[in-house]
Amino acid sequence: MIPRALDRGTIVFLALLGAVAIAVPLLNLALPDSSPLHVPTYLVSLFGKYVCFALLALSIDLIWGYCGILSLGHGAFFALGGYAMGMYLMRQIGGRGVYGNPLLPDFMVFLNWKELPLAWWGFSSFPYAMLMVLAVPGLLALVFGWFAFRSRVTGVYFSIITQAMTFALLLAFFRNDFGFGGNNGLTDFKDILGFNVQADGTRAALFATSCLALMLGYVVCRILVASKFGMVLIAIRDAEARARFLGYRVESYKLAVFTISACMAGVAGALYVPQVGIINPGEFSPANSIEAVIWVAVGGRGTLAGAVIGAVLVNYAKTTFTSGALAPYWLFLLGGLFVGVTLWLPRGIVGTIAHWRAGRRITATEDAPDPSGAAVATKPQAAE
Amino acid sequence: MLFVGVSAARADAFDDTLQKFLTDSYTDTEAGVTALGAGGDVRAFAVVKALQDGRLLADPAARRVLIDDGGALKDAATGAVVSPAPPPADLKRVRLNNRLRRAVEAALGALTLRAPDPARRLDAAQAVFKSRDAGALPAVEAALSQETDTRVKSALAMARAAILITSPDAPEAARIEAVGMLRERGDQSALALLSALPPGTPATVQGAADSAAAAIRNRLQIWETAQNAWYGVSLGSVLLLAAIGLAITFGVMGVINMAHGEMVMLGAYTTFVVQEAIRQKAFTFAIPGTGIGFSLPLPAALTLDWSLPIAVPLAFVVTGMVGILIEKSVIRFLYGRPLETLLATWGISLILQQAVRTAFGPTNKEVSNPSWMSGAFELGQLSITYNRLWIVCFSLATFAMLLAMLRWTRLGLEMRAVTQNRGMAACVGIRTARIDALTFGLGSGIAGIAGVALSQIDNVSPNLGQSYIIDSFMVVVFGGVGNLWGTLVGAFTLGIANKFLEPFAGAVLGKIAILVLIILFIQRRPRGLFALKGRAVEA
């Protein structure tokens, strides 16, 4: 199973990612500032952000590309993971907050709370927080998905109720009395595992960890989609009713893959928060979730590498545009991307390239005097 | 003869009172103010008002009191302008302290109770009701005996009751009678009075007050329910307006139009443009920096009251055209791919938002209510604003017209045919592609007129549509597609449920509860309240 999952493309992709994971921190830490190859720390954080987004895109590609579930609420899982990490980081501040309260985070002191709410218990322990990073999004996805898939909510209906879910969470997290910092969110972090989050070394380590998480996520996705489980997912995507008639429990497959995907999104969020230094309810906004979907669409749905490439490309474009004089035009470009990709590039970048290469291979075999090549003659002239 | 005598005696008393302001002593000034308030002289109001504003000047040398009336000095007793104005050094401003200010206010209140304008008398009576100042009792009773206007009279009676019920030295019978009057009044302020009687109130009065308070509470509860229901209907009508366009595009074409909210926004901006043109008396269009533009003069008789009758059809046409354009340029290539349509229309919504932001700026635009839509009226304890009432009527009218159109026109017939069986409709010669474009245009146009209505109650900004889109989707999902009645029921159910949850859970939690309830509801009826049956379900 694993050898089949790790085909040549996957190994190349993983090797590239590993090289980046090593090279960027090295260029940041080992080279002096004056060196032309030096990567400044802010870029390390920026790249780290892209990598986290790539992991989020990967999780969306897993369910959308391979199982046809379009979730417009994946930002919610991302943000929940981020909040779990943020809560750990808040507890690490300890007595160094503005109010100097050793137990309560600043915003609770400000709201005149006397004791730590139940939801915050245990978050001073890193392993517990990491467990929550997986468990909270996973559990939400499990419950939500169980309700949704059981009653066969599919297609756009599912998309809309996931959007409603993230919208409801957005409203809830904006409230002060919900206990997660209200609209300011959680910020002002100091330490992670005893290291200063602002330090160059920590940032480099976080970047490397994010790359590792992305590699791991990629491998997990590859193993999943290359296995029999993945075949069933694709069958569900292409003909759900037929897969059900063949005896597969469609709901269970969907629920399983949805939950796994939510956990991945949670991990992405958890790695994102220490690198940007803040998590606030804005992350729950439905627009964020839809934007993540377009990363996948640009890169190519159903091609895991495409999700990663799409996320990095679109976010790079966003950074370039929104930081310069072109800022007012970014939304035009983003909107145009949504329209253009769905109209003219439905396979995405990677999907189109793969399709084109497959077409060439077929043409090549057709041209070759191959007596056993009769089967390929049924394929249309894809290259044209 | 007798009249002159009384008048002269009064004038003497008034003059004597004025003398008290000359001594520059707080005690004397207070005695003077109280006497002016208790007496009935018509000149007293001007004097006390001047004292409150610091325009009352004492001239001890000439033993007279002057009022500084915007520079001109008038004698307080005669009202005549003092022609050789005394040197400012001789004049002393009559000073006030905090205790005096209260006395001045009480005196002013008592004096306004007898003001010639009934509206001012009414205000004064209501002010006494709020302050329930025992000192005002004689003034109130005096005013009550002379009052002829029934509304002012009842307000005065209420003020008297409010004073009596809280004053410990009033006779018990009078206090119990006062309780009865407050019970009749039956509003929040009466309840507040009745439930906070001063300590030492006799048991009989207390008992009467308690039972009256309970009765008022019951009645208020009913009114509150009615008020909530009205708010719910009002919210429901807004949701209905925003959602029916969506229900048409989704129901007939199976297209999720994420740019629907932006159509609403465009409709609201159309209203803004119309109102702006009416204010400028000309419709001006110009592209900045290019010199391209024109200006169309409008007749001067066109007032803002006409802005909405003009904006409604205009918004329908504008957004309808935009809708057809979107359908022709993007959506028709994506039929049968609902998820891609969703993404593409989301992209269109981003573009439209940014386009409006570029053209009109990111800030809220001022859209005013025409005169026939502003104001409110009272229905019992219910306060109904005209703009909400109009919107409820307007959305129901739109709904009825849409139903009639679907039922009785050729386009409606063809639209229903395409909804039910696209292939068969095409076979009998209906140009389905044209119907699709028109349907999309119709749905968008209705969103546009929803925008006109929303511009009257919400901020007109590029984000206007975003705030309604999720709610509209909830209505459609809840009501079920392909049936406008489902949208109607869905909109009003959600609107009313929202407003009834709000008092218990707060606005935000109420909304969350609604979302959760809808998600649970979909468990039982995955295709909404009024689901299509038969083959259409799987299409």
Cβ B316 vs Cβ B288: under 8 Å: no
| Per-residue pLDDT tens over the stretch B260-298 | 999 999 999 999 999 988 888 777 777 766 777 777 777
Distance CA B63, CA B86 (A): 12
Residue-range domain boundaries for chain B? 1-112, 117-201, 223-283+299-534
Distance CA A119, CA A149 (A): 28
Task: Tell me how close the Cα of B350 comes to any Cα of chain A, in angstroms.
Answer: 5
Return the closest-CA partner of residue B163 out of B195, B122, B128.
B128
Distance CA B362, CA B349 (A): 15
Total H helices, total E strands in chain B: 19, 8
Predicted pLDDT at B356? 92
Q: Do B351 and A339 touch (CB under 8 A)?
A: yes
Residue contacts between A and B (CB atoms, under 8 Å): 118
Contacts of B357 in chain A (CB under 8 A): 328, 331
Task: Tell me how close the Cα of A171 comes to any Cα of chain B, in angstroms.
Answer: 6
Task: Tell me how close the Cα of A186 comes to any Cα of chain B, in angstroms.
Answer: 20
Q: Do A338 and B344 touch (CB under 8 A)?
A: yes
Q: Do B348 and A335 touch (CB under 8 A)?
A: yes
Q: Do A159 and B342 touch (CB under 8 A)?
A: yes
State the best of B331, B335, B350, B525 to mutate against chain A, taking most chain A CBs within 10 Å: B350
Q: Do A151 and B522 touch (CB under 8 A)?
A: yes
Task: Tell me how close the Cα of B353 comes to any Cα of chain A, in angstroms.
Answer: 8
**Residue B327: how many other CB atoms lie within 10 Å:** 23
Calculate mean pLDDT across residues A120-148.
93
B16 pLDDT more than 60? yes
Q: Do B346 and A332 touch (CB under 8 A)?
A: no
Confidence of residue A2 (pLDDT cuts 50, 70, 90): low
Predicted pLDDT at B352? 93
Cβ B513 vs Cβ B255: under 8 Å: no
Q: Do B342 and A297 touch (CB under 8 A)?
A: no
Contacts of B478 in chain A (CB under 8 A): none
Around B427, how many Cα atoms within 13 Å sit in the side-chain half-sphere?
A: 4
Question: What proportion of chain B, given as a percentage, has pLDDT over 70?
Answer: 93
Enclosing H/E stretch for B75:
strand B72-75
Closest-CA residue of B relative to A341 is B344
Question: What proportion of chain A, given as a percentage, has pLDDT over 70?
Answer: 95
**Residue B399: how many other CB atoms lie within 10 Å:** 20
Q: Which residues of B221-240 are buried (b: 16+ CB within 10 A; e: fewer)?
A: eebeeebbebbbbbbbbbbb
Predicted pLDDT at A1? 57
Calculate mean pLDDT across residues A232-261.
94
Q: If you average pLDDT over each of A25-34, B174-183, B386-395, which comes out highest? A: B386-395
A365 pLDDT more than 90? no
Predicted pLDDT at A229? 95
Contacts of B346 in chain A (CB under 8 A): 290, 335, 338
Q: What is the DSSP letter of A12?
A: H
How far apart, in Å, are the Cα atoms of B409 and each of A225, A251, A285, B445, B486?
A: 52, 44, 42, 17, 21
Predicted pLDDT at B530? 66
Distance CA A167, CA A159 (A): 12
The residue segments making up the domain with residue A111 are: 2-346
Nearby residues of B472 by Cβ (< 8 Å), 6 or more positions away: B239, B242, B243, B246, B260, B261
| Per-residue pLDDT tens over the stretch B395-440 | 999 999 999 998 999 999 998 888 888 889 999 999 988 998 999 9
Cβ A48 vs Cβ A210: under 8 Å: yes
State the best of A140, A156, A244, A322 to mutate against chain B, taking most chain B CBs within 10 Å: A156
Torsion of Cα atoms, B168 then B172 then B176 then B182, to 10°: -30
Residues of B with CB under 8 A from a CB of A: 256, 330, 333-334, 337-344, 346-351, 353-355, 357-358, 470, 473-474, 477, 508-509, 511-512, 515-516, 518-520, 522-524, 526
Nearest to B344 among A155, A171, A339 (CB): A339
Q: Do A335 and B351 touch (CB under 8 A)?
A: yes
Q: What is the three-class DSSP state of B283? A: strand
Task: Tell me how close the Cα of B416 comes to any Cα of chain A, in angstroms.
Answer: 22
Predicted pLDDT at A369? 53
State the best of B339, B349, B468 to mutate against chain A, taking most chain A CBs within 10 Å: B339
Predicted pLDDT at B531? 62
Closest-CA residue of B relative to A290 is B343
Confidence of residue A368 (pLDDT cuts 50, 70, 90): low
Q: Do A328 and B516 touch (CB under 8 A)?
A: no
Task: Tell me how close the Cα of A16 comes to any Cα of chain B, in angstroms.
Answer: 31
Q: What share of chain B is helix, strand, coil (3-state, %, to 5)?
A: 70, 5, 20
Predicted pLDDT at B532? 56
Number of domains in chain A: 1
Contacts of B330 in chain A (CB under 8 A): 339, 343
Confidence of residue B538 (pLDDT cuts 50, 70, 90): very low
Q: Do A175 and B338 touch (CB under 8 A)?
A: no
Return the closest-CA partner of residue B414 out of B399, B397, B398, B432.
B432
Question: What HEC string does B137-185 produce?
Answer: HHHHHHHHHHCCCHHHHHHHHHHHHHHHHHCCCCCHHHHHHHHHHHHHH
Q: Return mean pLDDT, chain B.
A: 82
Confidence of residue B37 (pLDDT cuts 50, 70, 90): confident
Contacts of A161 in chain B (CB under 8 A): 477, 518-519, 522
Confidence of residue A374 (pLDDT cuts 50, 70, 90): very low
State the best of B519, B532, B535 to mutate against chain A, taking most chain A CBs within 10 Å: B519
Nearby residues of A175 by Cβ (< 8 Å), 6 or more positions away: A182, B508, B509
For tokens 């590792």, name the residue.
A212
Calculate mean pLDDT across residues B356-367.
88
| Per-residue pLDDT tens over the stretch B48-73 | 878 888 888 888 777 788 888 777 78
Contacts of A286 in chain B (CB under 8 A): 470
A260 pLDDT more than 90? yes
Distance CA A78, CA A270 (A): 8
Among B2-11, B109-118, B465-474, which is the least confidently predicted range? B2-11
B8 pLDDT more than 60? no
For B223-283+299-534, give the CATH class. mainly alpha
Predicted pLDDT at A379? 38
Contacts of B474 in chain A (CB under 8 A): 164
| Per-residue pLDDT tens over the stretch B190-209 | 777 777 777 777 777 788 88
Contacts of B256 in chain A (CB under 8 A): 156, 159-160
For residue A379, report the phi and psi dihedrals to the nearest 5 degrees.
-70, 140
Distance CA B287, CA B271 (A): 20
Cβ A40 vs Cβ A59: under 8 Å: no
Q: Do B344 and A343 touch (CB under 8 A)?
A: yes
A102 pLDDT more than 90? no
Calculate mean pLDDT across residues B454-463.
88
Predicted pLDDT at B7? 45
Q: ipTM of this model? A: 0.86
Distance CA B256, CA B280 (A): 39
Q: Which is higher by pLDDT, B38 or A249?
A: A249
Contacts of A70 in chain B (CB under 8 A): 339, 342
Confidence of residue B2 (pLDDT cuts 50, 70, 90): very low
Task: Tell me how close the Cα of A339 comes to any Cα of chain B, in angstroms.
Answer: 4
Closest-CA residue of A relative to B509 is A172
Nearest to B522 among A153, A156, A346 (CB): A153
Confidence of residue B4 (pLDDT cuts 50, 70, 90): very low
Predicted pLDDT at B26? 82
At B308, which amino acid appears? L
Q: Do A171 and B508 touch (CB under 8 A)?
A: yes
Nearest to A339 among B256, B348, B526 (CB): B348
Confidence of residue B6 (pLDDT cuts 50, 70, 90): very low
Q: Do A331 and B350 touch (CB under 8 A)?
A: yes
Q: How many residues does chain B have?
A: 539
Closest-CA residue of B relative to A145 is B519
Q: Do B339 and A161 touch (CB under 8 A)?
A: no
Contacts of A168 in chain B (CB under 8 A): 511-512, 515-516
For tokens 């190859």, name the residue.
A37
Q: A373 in a domain, yes or no?
A: no
How far apart, in Å, are the Cα atoms of A334 and each of A6, A265, B49, B283?
A: 34, 22, 65, 33
Cβ B490 vs Cβ B529: under 8 Å: yes
Q: What radius of gyration do chain A's Cα atoms show?
A: 22
Distance CA B443, CA B468 (A): 15
Q: Which is higher by pLDDT, A268 or B249?
A: A268
Cβ B189 vs Cβ B129: under 8 Å: yes
Nearest to B519 among A161, A332, A335 (CB): A161
How far apart, in Å, are the Cα atoms of A189 and each of A105, A179, A269, B353?
A: 11, 17, 16, 35
Task: Tell me how close the Cα of A199 comes to any Cα of chain B, in angstroms.
Answer: 38
Among A75-84, A349-358, B35-44, which is the least confidently predicted range? B35-44
Contacts of A151 in chain B (CB under 8 A): 522-524, 526
At B296, which amino acid appears? L
